[in-house]
Amino acid sequence: MKLSMRLHERSYDIILKRGALQWVGQLADLDRRVLIVTDSGVPAQYAETVRAQCREGTIVTVPQGEASKSLAVFARLQQAALDAHLGRGDLIAAVGGGVVGDLAGFVAATYMRGIDFINCPTTTLSQIDSSIGGKVAVDLGETKNVIGAFWQPKLVVIDPDTLATLPRRQFVNGLAEAVKAGLICDPELFGIFEREDPEEKIEEILYRSLQVKKKIVEQDETDRGQRAALNFGHTLGHGIEAVRGVRGRRKNGYYHGECVALGMLPMIEDRQLAKRVRAVYRKLGLPARAGYNKEKVLAQMLHDKKAGGGQITLVKVPGLGCWRLDKVPVEALRELVYGKALPAPGQGE
């Protein structure tokens, strides 16, 4: 299956096909110097499959985990590109999850003022979400994605076969973003989660989720208006992420998708739908009940970049497949997070 992203300056294809990693050379020009970036947790055969199709490919393997999205690793990769004699007409390819995609994409965006980039995402999260949209970045210490750019890939190659090696919890983590896509835009996608085995339907789930993201990103390439819909669950989710800690960095932390899953629940205005969503979470193995300190999360959200002048903009889902923006006083957030009962500040669970 092929989707084409139509953007003002650059357009590119997203290829979604089982075994597609073996065909990258037929889809992109690999007859040049290629720096292939992967990480130590990604089975080495995936980067090797891509390298075997390059005229002159060099694989660089960074340590797995969010910590590799750093300026230090970024500098190492720039050096590796220089050592491999990459010129302006050469290519950087990411083979891995969102960490590798964000990092390698940012290297491509900046090396010699920007060279070609292709992305071969290998996690559900990166196949559904992070590989599309052109956002590339590294973190500054614990602050995520502060140094980055918009840099569109030349091509995205999604091979669902690579998901076979992904640990179950990682697999489910990314599916939270697909549930999100269904809730804001695609009732049929949400229905798949209710009725079917997501592992069996993974190609359709990926395809439908990508279509939702494509539609929204095409309307709003640089993140000013419509793209806010993709933040559904994320404002609260980021607060939870900051307080509970990100798994990988903290031992009992949550993954991003798990935080988003929890962050979506209070933003669903239809109680019946919220019940159905919880049932989907239980089926998938996503957290369905808040296991976080609500007061700490609320305090964290006061510092959220979207909180301006005591107001915060939330994405709400009034019914399945639709969304709206709601600018509310920060206090209204307390009400949402606690549900109906409103304990005094400081009485968080």
Ligand X SMILES: NC(=O)c1ccc[n+]([C@@H]2O[C@H](COP(=O)([O-])OP(=O)(O)OC[C@H]3O[C@@H](n4cnc5c(N)ncnc54)[C@H](O)[C@@H]3O)[C@@H](O)[C@H]2O)c1
Q: Which residues bind ligand X (CB under 6 A)?
A: 39, 41-43, 64, 66, 69, 96-100, 102, 122-123, 125-126, 129-130, 133, 135, 144-145, 162, 165-166, 170
> To the nearest whole angstrom, how small is the minimum distance from the Cβ of residue 246 to ligand X?
9
Cβ closest to ligand X, residue 90 vs residue 177:
177
Exposed/middle/buried for residue 128 (C-beta within 10 Å: 0-12, 13-18, 19+): buried
Residue 135 or 294: the one with the smaller Cβ distance to ligand X is: 135
Q: What is the dihedral of CA 275, 279, 281, 287, to 10 degrees?
A: 70
Q: Which is nearer to ligand X, 7 or 328 (CB)?
A: 7
Q: Which is nearer to ligand X, 126 or 338 (CB)?
A: 126
Q: Sign of dihedral through CA atoms 177, 180, 184, 188?
A: positive
Calpha distance 142→24 (Å, rounded): 35
**116, 31 Cβ separation under 8 angstroms:** no
Rg of the chain over all Cα atoms, to the nearest angstrom: 20
Q: What is the 3-state secondary structure (H, E, C) of 193-231?
A: HHHCCCCCCHHHHHHHHHHHHHHHHHHCCCCCCHHHHHH
Give min distance, CB of 100 to ligand X, in A: 6
DSSP string, 99-140: HHHHHHHHHHHHGGG--EEEEEE-SHHIIIIITSS-EEEEEE
Tell me how far, at minimum, the Cβ of 174 lies from ligand X, in Å. 6
Minimum distance of ligand X from residue 97's CB (angstroms): 2
Q: How far is the CB of 122 from ligand X (least distance, A)?
A: 4
For the bound state, the minimum distance from the C-beta of residue 147 to ligand X, rounded and expressed in Å, comes to 12
Dihedral of the alpha carbons of 83, 84, 87, 90, in degrees to the nearest 10? -150
Whose Cβ is closer to ligand X: residue 143's or residue 252's? 143
Would you say 133 or 276 has its CB closer to ligand X?
133
Element (H, E) at 94: strand 91-96
Residue 62 has which token pair?
């960074």
Residue number with CB closer to ligand X (32 or 227): 227
- Minimum distance, C-beta of residue 149 to ligand X, in the bound complex (Å): 11
**Pairing label, strands 311-319, 322-329:** antiparallel
